Amino acid sequence: MKKDICITGAGIISALGNGKQATLEALKNKQSGVSSLRYLTTTHTEFPVGEVKYSNPEMKQMLNLPPDHAVVRSALLGIIAIKEALKQANLEYRPPALRLAFISGITVGGMDHAEIYYQDFLENDSKNAFIELNDCGGVTEQIADYFTGFQLVSTVVTACSSSANAIMLGADLIKEDRADIVIAGGCECLSRYHLNGFNTLMILDRDICKPFDRDRAGINLGEGAGYVVLESSETAQKRGVQSIGKISGYCNACDAFHQTASSPDGLGAYLAMKGAIEHAGLNPEDIDYINAHGTGTPNNDLTEGIAVMNLFGETIPPLSSIKSYLGHTTSAAGSIEAIISLLCMTHNFLPVNLNFNNRIEEHSFVPVTNPHPMRPIRHVLSNSFGFGGNNSAIVISKQ
């Protein structure tokens, strides 16, 4: 018997604010959280970013952690988001009889502290507590240790599709009866490593980015975290909790075309979207909205649009990118945007594609400019594409 994978809780933090309500209000009011750097120390202050508006000491205080506690920024963001998700799912006190798993996507890990304390690691032992936290798995373990009670903990590292793949893995664990409840998603903070790396690729925009616009010039980096609580409909019913949506289909397809670029024909994106829709038992015309990856780079937006046209033909559903609201949160993008897709479906609105002025010449469509959908939103396709051609798509549906 096929198990319905219910979402019973969701938590989010990003440049738009802390929590689902703050995120929803910013999206509906077309308010971007992308602005000048405030917390990251770097010489590259010319690039706007989607920075979470809390310092590390402020987040430690929010979480009742000692000021001298060794914790990296990504873990702080992840813990805040998970607390919101657990509260909604009525899991603040975890039942010992249920098997709980934690799957988290991240790529940069604790680099935000490692890059600052590198000389200390070489010269003395004063900052050694941060050495193991540089590892991606170390960040996941730090989050898991804050909550405790997980029978399975794992880390997914596939660049910008990491947290989408974490959600997919979480759904598989439930379907295969390896877990009863899975907290899945991802987190990522900004770092100099991050900023310098993308600057080297020459794909950072010095203004707020313009996804799917003819004159797009690159991405704005962002940070944040997003996690969902997944469980079967049977488990949710036994626990007496309400489902707020379901993961009805998903697919990962790697085109292996290039280390950083998408294939010109958008093959990987096409296969991921097609596979997710088929896995959900739907047809392309059933999709009511596409939350596009839409980074604002010349390569991504062109090829993603080509893939959409190849799959949907002349009837392309409303499509938009939210990267100009909160920046590209890299490893956290898949789960953050899955939660935003869930909010769109729940509240029946479409996020306007900010800063769009002119259609890309090769595209037959324009992104969303009107927040009011023509029909109720029942199925959303959320795209997340990572370096190396690691492309993922998730279909989120009303329960």
CA distance 284 to 289: 11
Strand ranges (E), 31-81: none
The catalytic position among 113, 194, 293, 363 is 293
The secondary element (H helix, E strand) that includes residue 87 is: helix 73-88
What sign for the dihedral angle of Cα 254, 230, 345, 343?
A: negative
Distance between CA atoms of residues 68 and 61, nearest Å:
11
List Cα–Cα distances, 152 to 43, 84, 98, 164, 316, in angstroms: 41, 21, 12, 18, 40
Active site residue 344: no
Active-site annotation holder among 328, 344, 363, 379: 328
6, 113, 136, 160: which one is catalytic?
Answer: 160
Q: What is the DSSP string of 154-177?
A: EEE--GGGHHHHHHHHHHHHHHTT
- CA 398: distance to chain centroid? 20
| Coil vs helix vs strand at 18 | strand
Do β-strands 319-320 and 181-188 pair in parallel, antiparallel, or remain unpaired?
A: unpaired
Rounded Cα distance between 302 and 246, Å, is: 30
Of 160, 147, 98, whose CA–CA distance to 382 is shortest? 160
Q: Is 293 annotated in the active site?
A: yes
Q: Which residue bears the tokens 């990267």?
A: 323
328 is catalytic: yes
Strand partners, 291: 320, 382
Structure tokens at 222: 């962002």
| Residue whose entry in the numeric block shows the structure tokens 């308010």 | 31
382: alpha, beta or left? (left if phi > 0; alpha if psi -120 to 50): beta
What is the chain's length? 399
Catalytic residue numbers? Answer: 160, 293, 328
